A = this chain, B = another copy of it.
Amino acid sequence: MILAYDVKHMTCYYSEMFNEQEELTPAGPPLGDRRARRRQETITEILDIALDVMTEEGVNGLSLAEVARRLGVQPPSIYKYFASIMAVYDALFLRGQVEHLEVLRAGMATGGAGLEALTKGLEASGRWLLENRALAQLLFWRPVPNFAPSPEAFAPSQEMVRIQREALAGAVAAGQLGPAADSDEAVFLVSILITGALTQAMANEPELSWGEGRFTPLFPRLMGHLADIYPPG
């Protein structure tokens, strides 16, 4: 659960799409503070409702008409806030990446260093993602083939990789892991562990939270065995 739509892939295959990309929010005159705040509240509300719909109907089952219905407005009003349904996906992607990054950072800061901090961060991330499953699918699976996040929305994902790489470097410096763990490969390996635990939990235990069930409790143990994969000198 480290990468989201890998940068390398994106720049290889979607650069053309990015170049053609239209504005995601309708242009408008500058707004007073009060009006701007109200507008932002509505945008937030739309995104929250969109997540509800995606949870019930599948990420791919999002419908702006249904969002409008639940918001209590007519469908055309939604288009004052988002230029298209893809713009809604993109805003959700961006908001999700940003919030997820905060959760990861906060989890890593709860004590410990190096490997311990990384494990705590990923557990916090996992807990949050299981509480936001539609978002987790949008961020880390590929359920909407015709959607590609904009570069801006994708940026936090690269920061996420950097943070984890840093934590692994810390674990090496602390003698918890061998020098080979200060590598992109180790980041990818850790991403397999967290993604596997989360995907299995999401598919097989839709009612359970992080730490419950048969999969997520195994994650910290797997992280502990990183020392077997990258044994300290």
- A residues sitting closer than 8 Å to B (CB atoms) are 3-6, 9, 13, 55-61, 137, 140-146, 184-185, 188-189, 191-197, 199-200, 202-207, 214-215, 218-219, 221-222, 225, 228-229
Contacts and interface: CB of A to CB of B under 8 A. Distances in A.
A145 B3 CA distance: 24
Contacts of A61: 60, 145
Contacts of A197: 192, 196
B13 A141 contact: no
> In the complex this chain forms, how many copies of it are found?
2
Nearest to A145: B58
Contact of A188 (B3, B57, B200): B200
B202 A142 contact: yes
Given A9-B204, A205-B9, A214-B185, A58 B56 contact: no
Q: Which of A144, A185, A188 has the most CB of B within 10 A?
A: A188
A143 B60 contact: yes
Contacts of A225: 225, 228-229
Contacts of A219: 192
Nearest to A197: B192
A215 B13 CA distance: 19
A189 B58 CA distance: 27
